A and B are shown apart, each in its own frame.
Chain A
Amino acid sequence: MDSKSLAYLSNNFIYSALAVFAIAFLLHAVETAWSVKSGEKRELDRSRTEKLARSATGLIILGNLIVAAALITRGASASRIPVANMYEFSITGAFIFTTAYLIALKKYNLRWLGILVAGLTLLTLGTAITLLYVESAPLVPALKSPWLLIHVATAIISGGIFLLANSLAAAFLVLEKMERNGVRSSWAHRLPSLDALDQLTYRLIALVFPIWTFSIIAGAIWAEAAWGRYWGWDPKETWAFITWVAYAAYLHARVTAGWKGRKAAWLCLIAGSTFLFNYVYVNIWGTGKHTYSGL
């Protein structure tokens, strides 16, 4: 197959994945609503919707495999790994995000998060193929380096895990507010305890912090080889640094200042929004050396 038809195939995979994630999202929505019995007491009965929830997870797995196929064909069409522009960055990031969720699902009871995962993946892929799409093309000389793989791949992995950790922190804040006002709504009964959510968020940040550190170091080494300076306070670099500092502050606040719960969750969300800002604002409206790898 030639490069054009491979890229075309890749786009069709993305459209199919969109459909699959949309169905998964709907199933999860129905399953969440149905698990609450109607009537006076509005009790939670998960057994009624267990099958539905399982098939939703099945669809997320299927969707993820299709995204993997899209990534492989996209990469093959340009004979390189598909992380050279914001479109590719987005679909790879979506893949990592769902993969991280599926791995965590094996260990923890996280099926309740499926509706958010399916929704966010849908949103990311949808934005990517409509707003961010660029034709598949070979690399400009500055991007031809093994550090592209190392730096960008670790950045994307970090992004996927950051997104998962922030989903948990957001869920924590919602539940915490409910509990402060009384009891949880019935649909929320199957969600884990606040303490478990808080712990899991911390564990994910502790996992991703070294990966993010590594990604920044790899970026600095690459920048040194390509541009002659390892750090230039280019907007992208500045915001990567801000995210790093914010998560260091999160870990620090937890361990040494004993922040837990609400304060820590807010700090996590603030740090997460610096990552998002870097991704959206700096790529699209920013200036500097990094923008040529974007749109």
Chain B
Amino acid sequence: MNGKQREKIEKDRTKSLKELGGFSLWRYLWRLLTSMRTALILLMLVGVASIPGSIIPQRSQNPFEVSDFFDRNPAISPWLDRFYFFDVFGSPWFSSIYVLLFISLIGCVIPRLNEYLRAIFEKPSPPPQSLQLMKGFQSFDSDSIGADKVLILSWLKKKGFRTAEFDGSITAEKGYLKESGNLIFHFAMIFILIGIAVSSIFGMRGDSIVNVGERFQNTPTSYDSMIPGRFYSVESLQPFQIKVDSFLAEYDPLTNQALNYELEVRVREELDSSEEEKVVRVNEPLTFGATRVFLQATGYSPQVTVRDGAGEVTFKGAVAFLPQDPNLTSAGAIKVPDMEPPIGFVGSFIPTAARDEVRGAFSSYPEVLDPRLLLAVWQGDLGMDDGKPQSIYRLDIENMERIGLKALRLGESYDFKVGSITFDGYLPWVNLQIIHDPGKKIALFGGLFALIGALGMLFIHRRRIWIRFSEENSVQLIDVAGFSSSNEELLLRELREFQEFLTLKKGES
């Protein structure tokens, strides 16, 4: 069937349905939704609808940029937000386009399964009346012909044509797998969409910052942040354990660019299983069934000891700071609620200290060669009791007062009257990203089948050769012509081959 015919059939179908009215409205809408034109429009709409998501910052990717955008465009941002422009790919309008496309695809592909299967197994149909109007038409008389019907049929079979004999004519057809490819491709689309849906409904992703030497236990409380799918249950977390033994980061001394990251861990699959040593790299995650653990980022945790005025230790430990630049200048906060009044430090960790007029103190290399810990000491209400969620990397200084400022070298202490702080050392940390993605395999297989299907539907070409035998003034005539909707060049080449075969004298072949 060509495009025109198909279109006409669809028009007729929708027209006759319109006349039915009433109860059939739903059927009409269904037909409309699953028509080729609607599918095509939906397909283009998905493309157009994803454009704003690539131009306006998205919460799912970069929440900081979104707040930046709000600050810079205070007038339109709330409106954009109302229409989900900061969450385009999770927005109702984007989802509805893709759900409609999904339904449209199912609605038109599944009923077509029958049609396709019939097309694949069906015998070729008889030649059209006026062969001379078709491609590559040529007429031969018996004098120039060296083959009879039997020979012709066997030649066509040998070339892989499927043949059907009619009264005085033959149709030969080839390239049936084009339809299979097409079918596979469209079904694969459905599987990709299913895979994506399964992952977002039953999946989970989360992050945890782990200092070298510490252990990550896969329980909800070990996560710094977690985004579960709608039907993900926290009880189903696999009980694996990761002990971070050592972390190696190599940098290019000329460009400061990272060359290699290597994380050595000891892993337990279950609480009582034996320990296994593993190495994690950027492109080589750990795998626990459908859950994978990725090495995502690195930074430093300065180790400090805080004492109160009487010299009693009120805090001792490593606090993760967040990198601010490629040389791992890191910023963070140390909160000591157990002092009276409470104390907080706003800090900067500089792995390799350098200084210039413009930037003040900064890091000149991502490895720790000459570390500094810059601290501002704040005293007052840390704001930790009012139940508002707080970033562990920032100090809420609204109700606090600054009482000191100091840059510490390794091992140095700073006495700020009501207490003191000592810079004991530092630990590298790694950010483990834990991702549970149960639909991944479905989507992957969908992708691979889409590829196979695409190869089939685009590289295999359906073509027909028609042969009609007739007699005119007691001279035997053979008319030959062909048809291909997708590759006429190939058809003409094969027709030429066939005609060469025909005109070979008997006995020569």
Contact = CB atoms under 8 A, between A and B. Distances in A.
Interface string B45-61: 01100110111011011
A252 B40 contact: yes
Nearest to B47: A245
Contacts of B448: 217
Contacts of A207: 458
B306 to A, nearest CB: 36
Nearest to A145: B283
Interface in B99-139: none
Given A141-B282, A144-B283, A214-B451, A235 B36 contact: no
A287 B62 contact: yes
B257 A140 contact: yes
A239 B196 CA distance: 18
Nearest to A245: B47
Give the residue among B3, B281, B448 with the most A Cβ atoms within 10 A: B3
Interface in A192-237: 199, 203, 206-207, 209-210, 213-214, 217, 220-222, 224-235
B58 A228 contact: no
Contacts of B196: 231
A292 to B, nearest CB: 10
B6 A256 contact: yes
Contacts of B51: 238, 242
B435 interface: yes
B270 interface: no
B34 interface: no
B80 interface: no
B202 to A, nearest CB: 15
A130 to B, nearest CB: 22
A258 B256 CA distance: 56
A137 B255 contact: yes
B483 interface: no
A138 B252 contact: yes
Contacts of B44: 245-246, 249
Given A144-B283, A233-B50, A287 B57 contact: yes
Interface stretch (B329-337, B411-419, B439-447): B439-447
Contacts of A248: 43
Contacts of B370: none
B294 interface: yes
- The binding surface of chain A is classed by DSSP as helix
B2 interface: yes
Interface in B294-345: 294, 296
Contacts of B36: 252, 256-257
A227 B294 contact: yes
A228 B447 contact: no
Contact of B54 (A142, A199, A220, A286): A286
A233 to B, nearest CB: 5
Contact of A210 (B2, B88, B454): B454
A253 interface: yes
A241 interface: yes
A246 B46 CA distance: 10
B70 interface: no
Contacts of A288: 61-62
B40 A241 contact: no
Given A141-B261, A213-B450, A228-B205, A238 B2 contact: no
Nearest to B448: A217
Interface string B191-204: 00000100000000
B456 to A, nearest CB: 9
Given A207-B458, A257-B3, A258-B2, A232 B40 contact: no
B284 interface: yes
B89 A233 contact: yes
Contacts of B292: 228
Contacts of B282: 141-142, 144, 226
Contacts of B443: 230
Nearest to B50: A238
A248 B296 CA distance: 35
A213 B54 contact: no
B65 interface: yes
A131 interface: no
A96 B261 CA distance: 34
A261 to B, nearest CB: 13
A68 interface: no
Contacts of B47: 241-242, 245-246, 249, 274
Interface in B1-25: 2-4, 6-7
A249 B42 CA distance: 10
A282 interface: yes
B402 interface: no
A1 interface: no
Interface in B360-409: none
A274 B44 CA distance: 13
Contact of A230 (B257, B294, B440): B440
Given A228-B205, A233-B60, A141 B258 contact: yes
Contacts of B259: 138, 140-141
A187 to B, nearest CB: 27
A226 B283 CA distance: 4
B506 interface: no
Query: Which residue of A209, A213, A282, A286 has the most chain B CB atoms within 10 A of its CB atom?
Result: A213
A50 B89 CA distance: 56
A258 B61 contact: no
B245 interface: no
Given A141-B258, A245-B46, A256 B3 contact: yes
A210 B40 contact: no
Contact of B451 (A217, A226, A274): A217
Interface in A239-295: 239, 241-242, 245-246, 248-249, 251-258, 274, 282, 286-288
Given A209-B458, A257-B7, A282 B37 contact: no
A234 B54 CA distance: 7
A213 B454 contact: yes
B497 to A, nearest CB: 18
Contacts of B252: 137-138
B454 A137 contact: no
17 contacts: A140-B257, A140-B259, A142-B282, A206-B459, A209-B454, A213-B450, A217-B447, A217-B450, A220-B447, A226-B282, A228-B292, A228-B296, A228-B435, A241-B47, A245-B46, A287-B65, A288-B62
Interface of A: 137-138, 140-142, 144-145, 147, 199, 203, 206-207, 209-210, 213-214, 217, 220-222, 224-235, 238-239, 241-242, 245-246, 248-249, 251-258, 274, 282, 286-288
Q: Closest 4 A-B residue pairs measured CB to CB?
A: A258-B3, A245-B47, A235-B54, A238-B54
Given A138-B259, A209-B454, 15 more contacts: A137-B252, A147-B283, A206-B458, A209-B458, A210-B451, A217-B451, A221-B444, A227-B294, A231-B196, A245-B43, A246-B44, A256-B3, A257-B3, A282-B54, A288-B61
